[in-house]
Amino acid sequence: MLLQALAFYVFAAVTVASAAMVVVSRNPVYSVLFLILAFFNAAALFVLIGAEFIAMILVIVYVGAVAVLFLFVVMMLDINLTELREGFLKYLPVGAMIGIVLLAEILLALGILGAGSATMSGLNAHGAQVMAVDNTRAIGRVLYTQYFYLFQVAGLVLLVAMIGAIVLTLRSRPGVRRQKVGDQINRTKDQAMTVVKVPTRGGVS
């Protein structure tokens, strides 16, 4: 228990500190790296409360895929650091507002501000019967039965987003010579080469 409490405080402190550094740090590449650290520590916190499946998915999806793309984009952009700093105070109120709204929503959902405690107690009641099996199985049982249609709809939304991204970035440039593997394999000896009898001193025309 002592080790667990210690681990919790370490992970929580690192999460909060690195989240703060995401906003404060001067270099956008550092911001993304701190964001990755924050994701990773959040995953560790999930492990501590026994939600190992969500923890692993968090690492695979956010750290392993999304943040890599962030890092890609940020590294490729040639960002002027001083220009980036100028808007900080101007956007501070808006950012703070969004932060406060998000915090209020979380507190509401947890039932600390009075309302919404029904969700929490409902989850707790559900959790009690779910704890008997490991949580990968528990999530699967709920996701593929009760929430099956919502799950499918989520998949469709992602598909539409993917098609949208492809449509936005797809452009057919003229003059690109693509490798066509089928053509290469189907080529026969007759098409590929001709045997020429070269006359002496005549050369090939």
Partner 1 sequence: MVADLIAFFTTHWLGQGLVILAQCLAVTVPLLVAVAYMTYVDRKVWASIQLRRGPNVVGPFGLLQPFADGLKLVLKETIIPSSANGVLFVIAPMIAFMTALVAWAVVPFDDGWVIADINVGILYLFAISSLGVYGIIIAGWASNSKYAFLGALRSAAQMVSYEVSIGFVLITVLLCVGSLNLSQVVLAQSGWFWNWFFLPLLPMFVIFFVSALAETNRTPFDLPMSEAELVAGFHTEYSAMTFGLFFLGEYANMILLSALGAVLFLGGWMSPIPYAPFTWVPGVVWFALKIAFLLFVFSWTKGTLPRYRYDQLMRLGWKVFLPVSLGWVVLTAAVLQFGGWVPKL
Question: Out of 11, 28, 35, 36, which residue is the one contacting partner 1 (CB under 8 A)?
Answer: 36
Contact by Cβ (8 Å): 198, 205: no
Among residues 10, 9, 11, 31, which one has the least CA distance to residue 21? Answer: 31
Question: Out of 134, 148, 161, 163, which residue is the one contacting partner 1 (CB under 8 A)?
Answer: 134
Residue placing its CB nearer to partner 1 in the complex, 36 or 38: 36
- Return the sign of the alpha-carbon dihedral for residues 102, 24, 11, 133: positive
Query: Any contact of residue 44 with partner 1 (CB under 8 A)?
Result: no
Query: Any contact of residue 176 with partner 1 (CB under 8 A)?
Result: no
Query: Any contact of residue 127 with partner 1 (CB under 8 A)?
Result: no
Q: How far apart are CA 145 and CA 112, in angstroms?
A: 31
Contact by Cβ (8 Å): 48, 36: no
Could you tell me the CA-to-CA distances from 26 to 9, 120, 151 in Å, in that order? 27, 39, 40
Residue placing its CB nearer to partner 1 in the complex, 105 or 144: 144
Q: How far apart are CA 159 and CA 139, in angstroms?
A: 22
Query: Any contact of residue 37 with partner 1 (CB under 8 A)?
Result: no
Question: Out of 16, 23, 64, 95, which residue is the one contacting partner 1 (CB under 8 A)?
Answer: 64
Query: Any contact of residue 179 with partner 1 (CB under 8 A)?
Result: yes
Query: Any contact of residue 45 with partner 1 (CB under 8 A)?
Result: no
Query: Any contact of residue 144 with partner 1 (CB under 8 A)?
Result: no
Q: How far apart are CA 36 and CA 46, in angstroms?
A: 15
Question: Out of 22, 45, 48, 71, which residue is the one contacting partner 1 (CB under 8 A)?
Answer: 71
Q: How many residues bind partner 1 (CB under 8 A)?
A: 24
The torsion region of residue 175 among left (phi > 0), alpha (psi -120 to 50) and beta comes to left
Q: Which residues bind partner 1 (CB under 8 A)?
A: 2-3, 29, 33, 36, 52-53, 56-57, 59-60, 63-65, 68, 71-72, 75-76, 134-137, 179
